[in-house]
Structure 1
Amino acid sequence: MDALKDSFSSLSIARRLQPSKALYILDVSLPVCDSNFLAVSCSNHSVHLYSRETLRLLAEFQGHTAPVCGVRFSHLSPNLLFSGSADGTLRCWDTRRPDSDPIQVFRSDSTHSYCSFDVSCSDRVLCAGTEQVEEDSFLVFWDARMVQEVETGSKNGGLLGVFSESHGDDITTVKFHPQQSDRLVSGGSDGLVNLFDLSLGGEEEALVSTCNCNSSASSLCWTGKSLDQLLCLTHDEGLHLWDMASPESDDRLTLFSSPDARTLVQLPGETSLEYIVGGAWLSDEERILLVGGNSDGELHLLDCSETGLRLIKSLSGGHSATVRCFKWDVIGQALLTGAEDGQLLQWRPGAEEICVGQKDSLKSISAMQHKAKAHRKQAVNKDRVKMP
């Protein structure tokens, strides 16, 4: 834990981006390579592109007509940025063309509303998880290399197929393995976390393991020195850490599990942990970083291991409302956080604050509904997925 403490003990606000209008920041993404970009999704259905170093606004991409469920940079090209939405589209944006239309649009059935998505490490496959439609929920796959005719082109161009039997409720999170392009995990409101090996064929063959988190899964993260462990967080603040090195084995090991991770750590004074923002594997420190918070915007950085949670550092004076997302910038050695106050903050060791944008702090805007259930008749060709 010493290396983790050394990394975060002197964090303070370096830059504060104030919103020009009331909105939530829902998700943040960074390119894998050394690129001066970072992207966020916002509650007004837009995607913003900022300078990684200065937080200066570079572009605003508009086109989604429903809540955006996430943003992801291409693994191989920092000039490509993907976004997914409940409007039933995944969109690919060219970061070199500010404020332009998407260069690709991916769709499936008209009744599909996406609430999660991810891009494989090879950039060859896109996967989106849908909300439940009638009795079914779907994992939808596309060949990301297929050139789509934007808006007017073939509706299902690039569609590889769907999995429809593995989840019985909304598929709330999907995550490709960082190094193995055929390995995918999905989690849903049904409490199931499924591991797939897409190289094995159709859904029945590809499903190699199922875990139960006994709640609605909110996020999944590959962890461990060999990236063969899986961290699962739930919407009711549960935490599970599984060893997935031998997923076909009946002796799959639960390394750690708690139905309420908030009870595992003692904070100083009368402060209590109200929610978990998310988790991340820090490869340099070989530790899991967990970020929790309070409704007033205070953040708590936690070390997560098989023995439980330990407080590393509390961060105050930044956000004024619930924090929705974070990202550790390995290249810039900075922590990025976004919240319901609309602020994007950059934290660096020993930094002095520079304000970017509006000077007046915005409190949290009124609660907004970011998710609409779909209950329309579903008819879709349940194709087997054949990876390109």
Structure 2
Amino acid sequence: MAGASQAQPSTSAPAAPPGALKLPQCCGSARVDFNFSDPCYVFRAVPNPASGLVAASVSNHTIKLYQPTGPQLSLVGELRGHTGTITDISFCASSSPSLLLSSSADGTVVAWDTRTGQPAERYEVRGQEVFSFSSLGHMLAAGSTGEVLFWDRRQGSGSRTLAKLDDTHMEDVTQVRFHSSGRVLSGSTDGLIAVHDVSKSFDDDDVFQAAINITNSVEEFGMYGSDGGRLWIRTGTESVHLWEWLRATDEAVPGGDMQFADFAEARNTASQACAASAAASLLPQVDYLVGCHYDAASSQLFLLAGHNDGPVAFVPVLEQAGPQGNMVAAAMACPGVALAGGHSSIVRSVQCVGDGSSGVFAVTGGEDALVCMWTLDPALAAAGAAAAAAGGGAAGGQQAGGSGGAGPARQHAHGQGQPGGGRGGGGRQGGGRHGKQQQQQGGKNRRPSPY
């Protein structure tokens, strides 16, 4: 088992002087709710590069489908069938661009045909919630309480589980992700990230490779780097850890302990980076972390840091390589990109599409019931502004509810001295089923869970 290492301390001040701040414009937005007396929230908004479709998982157990039409986001469908909180969504590979996968606390993983709005495949875990899933080719993996379950999608909808791994985790498996090599990584509220190689077998004795001990609840992680060999992890207390996980599983590499950065106070560190930059007026403090984004073109990892009123900064994480080529330390630099002017409350999801020079840069979803598109393309930004002016609302013509300023997020005001539950992994209810209360840190309130 790989334990938490004594990584070199990450700097608490910006590692580089402030530079020019890019401000993508909100070029289109849409509300996911039509009834202010029964407010909804966006858990995750994901774009499909193959079709341009945008899917948003909503707190009323539905998935909304939007099609960008110029600067507009037009509602083109709803996927209904889940009876519990939707915990994860993603589009299938380009070979099946019309399929959208979703998991839910109702114990199912569903593959939806977005052309018809009907389920094409359905997999069930009886008596358990499903918190996350991942697919690679014909294989489907899902995380539940203490287990990672697998299905062979070639066997068809409703087929029995092909296998399960239940010897590593003791608590909820909040994240499951396949690596291109056939390895599957699973993270849990028990503080472990397990690595199994299921490319050839499902025998526990053969497939187990490592258990990385984060010593904190794993809420979200992502693989990044040219080979996907590095790992960013966001915990239940919003600390951030960086690992060389692929090296940690390589028996030929000595040491085996490959954590190279531990941002124990990631929000405070990001706040200092923002304060020393042109983003200071937009983000006077960092209230929460959305996650991370890796830009493959520039080989740059960004921490996505948000303010309760809606702005989100892309804070660069500068990694330092050692003599053997592995990373040995990291520090945060001044943000070079910030999203502001679209959302009025906490942003739950940021998914980047391209570099923004032409077309859409990112799609976001938040607690203000909005899905927003962002661009750095002057023509698209101008078209969005014109549409907003013509509609008398926010960019892209808000649907059935006008501007998002007085929307449902006001129901969950961030009052002084009110510690709330932490952000649940993947949109889980109550900020974690174990009821762990997150206390105030550094004089800032924890954000209450809206679920």
| Fold equivalence (TM over 0.5) | yes
CA contact (8 A) 1:340 1:365 kept: no
Q: Which residue of 2 aligns with 1:238?
A: 239
Instruction: Give the alignment partner of residue 40 of structure 1, picking from 56, 70, 74.
Output: 56
Q: Which residue of 1 aligns with 2:250?
A: 248
Structure 2 Cα separation of the partners of residues 319 and 117 of structure 1: 28
Structure 1 Cα separation of the partners of residues 163 and 55 of structure 2: 29
Q: Which residue of 2 aligns with 1:85?
A: 104
Structure 1 Cα separation of the partners of residues 129 and 102 of structure 2: 13
Query: Are 1:348 and 2:375 matched, yes or no?
Result: yes
1:363 Cα offset (Å) = 4.1
Instruction: Give the alignment partner of residue 66 of structure 2, picking from 17, 26, 50.
Output: 50
- Secondary structure of the residue that 1:84 maps to in structure 2? strand
Q: For structure 2, which runs of at least 5 residues remain unmatched after alignment?
A: 1-14, 320-329, 386-394, 413-426, 435-451
1:96 Cα offset (Å) = 1.0
Q: Which residue of 2 aligns with 1:208?
A: 209
- Secondary structure of the residue that 2:162 maps to in structure 1? strand
Higher share of residues assigned strand: 1
Letter of the structure 2 residue corresponding to residue 308 of structure 1 = A
Structure 2 Cα separation of the partners of residues 305 and 77 of structure 1: 36
Q: Which residue of 2 aligns with 1:14?
A: 27
CA contact (8 A) 1:39 1:50 kept: yes
Q: How does 1:128-277 map to 2 (within 5 A)?
A: 128-131=142-145, 137-148=146-157, 157-177=159-179, 179-180=180-181, 182-201=182-201, 202-246=203-247, 247-249=249-251, 250-265=255-270, 266=272, 267-268=274-275, 269=280, 271-277=284-290
Out of 291-300 and 303-312, give the one that drifted further. Answer: 303-312
- Secondary structure of the residue that 1:354 maps to in structure 2? coil
Q: Which residue of 1 aligns with 2:91?
A: 73
Q: How does 1:306-345 map to 2 (within 5 A)?
A: 306=319, 307-310=330-333, 311-330=335-354, 332-345=359-372
Letter of the structure 2 residue corresponding to residue 264 of structure 1 = T
1:119 Cα offset (Å) = 1.6
- Secondary structure of the residue that 1:245 maps to in structure 2? helix
Letter of the structure 1 residue corresponding to residue 82 of structure 2 = H
Out of 208-217 and 263-272, give the one that drifted further. Answer: 263-272
Letter of the structure 1 residue corresponding to residue 178 of structure 2 = F
Deviations 1:225-284 (A, max 9, x none): 222111111121111111123313433422211222112231235811111101122111
Higher share of residues assigned helix: 2
Structure 1 Cα separation of the partners of residues 115 and 331 of structure 2: 44
Deviations 1:102-138 (A, max 9, x none): 1211013x22211111222x2x11111113xxxxx11
Deviations 1:290-345 (A, max 9, x none): 21112222211111232222222333322121111110012844111111110111
CA RMSD of aligned residues (A): 2.4
Deviations 1:15-46 (A, max 9, x none): 12133232110012233x53221211110001
1:82 Cα offset (Å) = 0.8
CA contact (8 A) 2:289 2:306 kept: yes
Structure 2 Cα separation of the partners of residues 373 and 255 of structure 1: 30
- Secondary structure of the residue that 1:205 maps to in structure 2? helix
Instruction: Give the alignment partner of residue 125 of structure 1, picking from 119, 134, 139.
Output: 139
Q: Which residue of 1 aligns with 2:409?
A: 364
CA contact (8 A) 1:23 1:365 kept: no
Structure 2 Cα separation of the partners of residues 320 and 295 of structure 1: 8
Structure 2 Cα separation of the partners of residues 314 and 330 of structure 1: 15
Between Structure 1 and Structure 2, how many residues are aligned?
351
Larger radius of gyration: 2
Letter of the structure 1 residue corresponding to residue 195 of structure 2 = L
Letter of the structure 2 residue corresponding to residue 337 of structure 1 = T
% same residue: 25
CA contact (8 A) 2:360 2:373 kept: no
Structure 2 Cα separation of the partners of residues 125 and 51 of structure 1: 29
Q: For structure 1, which runs of at least 5 residues remain unmatched after alignment?
A: 132-136, 149-153, 375-388
Instruction: Give the alignment partner of residue 30 of structure 1, picking from 47, 51, 72.
Output: 47
Q: How does 1:268-307 map to 2 (within 5 A)?
A: 268=275, 269=280, 271-306=284-319, 307=330
Query: Are 1:95 and 2:124 matched, yes or no?
Result: no
Q: Which residue of 2 aligns with 1:379?
A: none
Q: Structure 1 residues 83 and 16, CA, compared in 2 at 3 Å: closer, same or farther?
A: same
- Secondary structure of the residue that 2:163 maps to in structure 1? strand
TM-score where L is the length of structure 1 = 0.84
Out of 245-254 and 72-81, give the one that drifted further. Answer: 245-254
Deviations 1:325-378 (A, max 9, x none): 11001284411111111011111114233324131321406459825859xxxx
- Secondary structure of the residue that 1:264 maps to in structure 2? helix
